[in-house]
């Protein structure tokens, strides 16, 4: 499965197979393992190259291009799209996994102690194997922490492993406690168990679970209360009244908030064209897919066409920018400290709809990090996420 995921999907998924490959080396000869891997790659790569040639007119190998560009810097450099400190993922996982993340980090050490104190040879061997197998999360985080360009979405692949490692760490803590502090067991039915320790194990596990759920729910509420304004604002586009005399499609524009544009599912009817206006962002903006006939060959032609305005240096293309006065609608966010144009205050623009959006830069920890109902609105600062209409194109609702 890792071969398919790495070749067809995301090449870095191959990192997750490294611990498994190490374990397989202990059971199979190196030549057998290499031949099996080559066979799997050929089986996956052959139909993949055929499909690419049919659709693109040439062999592209996107997975190879991803590695060349993002890791080796061939043709460009991923740092052009932003860089973060080495501890970015550690801080991010601490916020998103709270108590589960340190438990995951402790797993190899706790499991090693359990293995060392285990008397059964077969069980000891299985414990050592589990350390190697679940080290993929640590390997993944270490690798991506070494890359200068970091994004939260890069670590989603190890979320299940982090959760599993955290749960096993709790079990290992219980095992170690029982081994370090033995006492005379008490009879309980057909079993003889130290009942007071059993209660302690349950208290530890329940306390960890309660803290994890409470903090996670607080983070979830923060995301809903603080950052869902773009969805609600874009949802209002469909309700904007357009006079029959105006010829569709009208231009719907977005400036500095281009990266929060949720989906074209919010844009239909009169609003089939989304354009960008100039902002402080001077990098490469998304482009439109070329229009092609609604047929199989038309789709093939569309896939084979190359937009020469794209570049690998993250340079802005002026042809993708629209003048603000040509836009019928504009989605923007206004904050007190922004250094960009306040369109909502300019003549000729009218607010159709607005929602508060948490202004992280002007808010303080912990109120901007966790949802605290009695302090969220009082302790945080908010921007205005607005849907504006150009009254020179669309009539003002106030007449």
pLDDT at 370: 95
Tokens of 302: 């569309």
> Nearest to residue 78, comparing CAs of 316, 283, 277, 260?
283
* Integer CA distances (angstroms), 299 to 88, 272, 296, 303, in order: 41, 19, 5, 6
Phi, psi of 296 (to 5 degrees): -60, -45
Q: Output the tens digit of pLDDT for each of the chain's 399 residues.
A: 777 888 888 889 989 989 988 888 877 778 887 888 888 888 888 998 998 898 888 888 888 889 888 888 887 888 888 899 999 999 999 999 999 999 999 999 999 999 999 989 999 999 999 999 999 999 999 999 999 999 999 999 999 999 999 999 999 998 998 888 776 555 555 555 555 555 677 788 899 999 999 999 999 999 999 999 999 999 999 888 888 888 777 889 999 999 998 888 888 776 767 899 999 898 989 887 777 777 777 778 877 888 788 888 888 888 889 999 999 999 999 888 877 788 888 888 999 999 999 999 999 999 999 999 989 999 999 999 999 999 998 887 654
pLDDT at 397: 64
Got the DSSP string for 210-253? Answer: HHHHHHHHHHHHHHHHHH-HHHHHHHGGGG----TTSPSPPEEE
Per 3-state DSSP, the chain is made up of helix, strand and coil in percentages (nearest 5) of 55, 10, 35
Q: How many CA atoms lie within 13 A of 250 on its CB side?
A: 25
pLDDT at 59: 87
Residue 349 near residue 390 (C-beta atoms within 8 A): yes
pLDDT at 193: 54
Residue 185 near residue 194 (C-beta atoms within 8 A): yes
pLDDT at 21: 85
Alpha helix locations (H) across 71-194?
88-97, 100-116, 121-133, 136-146, 159-180
Number of residues that make up the chain: 399
6 Cβ neighbours under 8 A, 6+ residues apart:
12, 13, 14, 17, 63
User: Looking at the DSSP assignment, which residues form a beta bridge with residue 193?
Assistant: 186
222 Cβ neighbours under 8 A, 6+ residues apart:
358, 368, 369, 370, 371, 376
The model's pLDDT over 74-88, given as tens digits with 9 standing for 90+, comes to 878 888 888 999 999
Alpha helix locations (H) across the chain?
2-4, 18-25, 30-56, 62-70, 88-97, 100-116, 121-133, 136-146, 159-180, 195-227, 229-235, 296-304, 376-379
Cα first-last separation, the chain = 62
Q: Which residues of 254-283 are buried (b: 16+ CB within 10 A; e: fewer)?
A: bbbbbebbeeeebbeebbebbbbbbbeeee
Query: Is residue 206 classed exposed, middle or buried when 0-12, 13-18 and 19+ CB atoms within 10 A define those classes?
Result: exposed
Neighbours of 172 (CB within 10 A): 21
* Verdict on whether the full-model pTM lies above 0.75: yes
CA distance 97 to 104: 10
The single residue listed with the structure tokens 């293309």 is 317
CA distance 278 to 281: 8
In the sheet that 382-390 helps form, which strands lie side by side, from edge to edge? Answer: 321-322, 273-277, 251-254, 329-334, 382-390, 349-358
pLDDT at 371: 95
User: Looking at the DSSP assignment, which residues form a beta bridge with residue 386?
Assistant: 332, 354
Beta-strand pair 329-334/251-254: parallel
The single residue listed with the structure tokens 């060349």 is 68
Residue 235 near residue 387 (C-beta atoms within 8 A): no
pLDDT at 247: 76
pLDDT at 323: 92
302 Cβ neighbours under 8 A, 6+ residues apart:
289, 290, 291, 292
């Amino acid at each position: 499965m890792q071969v398919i995921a790495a070749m067809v999907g995301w090449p870095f998924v191959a990192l997750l197979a490294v611990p498994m490959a190490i374990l397989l080396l202990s059971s199979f000869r190196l030549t057998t393992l290499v031949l099996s891997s080559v066979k799997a790659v050929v089986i996956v790569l052959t139909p993949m190259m055929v499909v690419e040639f049919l659709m693109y007119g040439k062999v592209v190998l996107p997975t190879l291009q991803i590695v060349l560009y993002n890791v080796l810097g061939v043709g460009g450099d991923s740092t052009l799209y932003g860089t973060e400190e080495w501890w970015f993922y550690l801080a991010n996982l601490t916020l998103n996994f709270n108590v589960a993340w340190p438990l995951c980090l402790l797993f190899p050490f706790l499991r090693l102690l359990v293995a060392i104190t285990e008397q059964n040879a077969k069980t000891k061997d299985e414990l050592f194997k589990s350390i190697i197998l679940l080290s993929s999360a640590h390997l993944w985080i270490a690798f991506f922490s070494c890359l200068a360009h970091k994004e939260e979405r890069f670590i989603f692949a190890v979320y299940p492993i982090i959760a599993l490692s955290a749960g096993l760490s709790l079990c290992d803590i219980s095992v170690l406690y029982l081994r370090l502090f033995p006492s005379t067991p008490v009879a309980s039915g057909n079993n003889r168990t130290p009942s007071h320790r059993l209660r302690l194990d349950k208290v530890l596990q329940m306390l960890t679970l309660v803290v994890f759920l409470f903090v996670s729910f607080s983070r979830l509420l923060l995301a809903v209360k603080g950052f869902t304004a773009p969805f609600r604002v874009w949802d209002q586009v469909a309700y904007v009244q357009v006079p029959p005399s105006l010829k569709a499609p009208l231009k719907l524009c977005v400036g500095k908030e281009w990266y929060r544009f949720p989906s074209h599912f919010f844009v239909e009817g009169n609003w089939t064209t989304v354009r960008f206006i100039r902002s402080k962002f001077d990098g490469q903006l998304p482009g439109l897919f070329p229009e092609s006939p609604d047929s199989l060959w038309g789709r093939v032609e569309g896939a084979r066409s190359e937009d020469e305005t794209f570049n690998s240096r993250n340079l802005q293309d002026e042809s993708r920018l629209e003048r603000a006065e040509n836009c019928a609608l504009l989605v923007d966010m206004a904050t007190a400290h922004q250094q960009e144009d306040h369109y909502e205050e300019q003549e000729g623009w009218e607010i159709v709809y607005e929602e508060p959006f948490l202004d992280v830069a002007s808010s303080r920890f912990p109120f901007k990090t966790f949802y605290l109902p009695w302090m969220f609105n009082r302790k945080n600062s908010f921007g205005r996420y607005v849907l504006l209409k150009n009254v020179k194109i669309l009539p003002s609702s106030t007449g």
